[in-house]
Amino acid sequence: ECVTPMERRLREGVDAERREVIEGTNPPRTRVCLIFYKQTTKRDVGARLAWILHDYNPWVLPEKVEPEEREHAILQAVAENHGVILTPISKVSEGLNLKLDTPIVYELGKNAKETDQAVGRCWRLGKEELVRAYHFAGKDTATHDKLRRQASASGAASLFSGNSPRGELAAC
């Protein structure tokens, strides 16, 4: 099958993140990637990305997992050495405390709040290691425009709430 340039770039990013040993961890461990995508009844993006990333032992959040069981299911997959977790963004944008290392927004949520909250599942109180978030969008596409709008909303929301926009999604 054909691999798109964005899928190839995702694979490169995951490869770099999975190879990096997190400084100060004992025993040493590599970064865990949590990849968000938009799931519809017509597209099975999770299965496609699992195929693209098969070398990294990916785990896809099953459709039938109840909301109150999602956090446990994801953390169990990590405990079973799945270094890449794939999940629809709408399934993890609220109420989970995952403290993972690398959230990757492969497809944006419906709005800035959903995207910010999904990424925020990784950066929680008590998380000591650096969290690096990636947002994918093809240059000069509708998704790129949406990402720029979400970045503006993210920074504005941060300022409105009294926080510095440093570390928030940057518009570029």
Cα distance between residue 167 and residue 73, in whole Å? 29
From the list 63, 57, 111, 66, the residue with the least C-alpha distance to 88 is: 63
Q: Are 159 and 152 spatial neighbours (Cβ–Cβ below 8 Å)? A: no
Supply the pTM of this predicted model: 0.82
| pLDDT at position 155 | 57
Enter the tokens of residue 106: 């492969």
Residues of the chain with pLDDT under 70: 150-172
Q: Are 85 and 76 spatial neighbours (Cβ–Cβ below 8 Å)? A: no
Q: Convert the pLDDT of each residue in 1-47 to its tens digit.
A: 799 999 999 999 999 999 999 988 888 999 999 999 988 778 889 99
| pLDDT at position 170 | 46
Cα distance between residue 103 and residue 28, in whole Å? 20
Query: The tokens 């000591």 sit on which residue?
Result: 128
Give the end-to-end CA distance of the chain in Å, rounded to a whole number. 32
Q: Is the four-CA dihedral 149, 134, 2, 85 of positive or negative sign? A: negative
Cα distance between residue 137 and residue 144, in whole Å? 5
Average per-residue pLDDT in the chain?
83
Name residues whose C-beta falls within 8 Å of residue 157's C-beta, 6 or more positions apart in sequence: 112, 113, 116
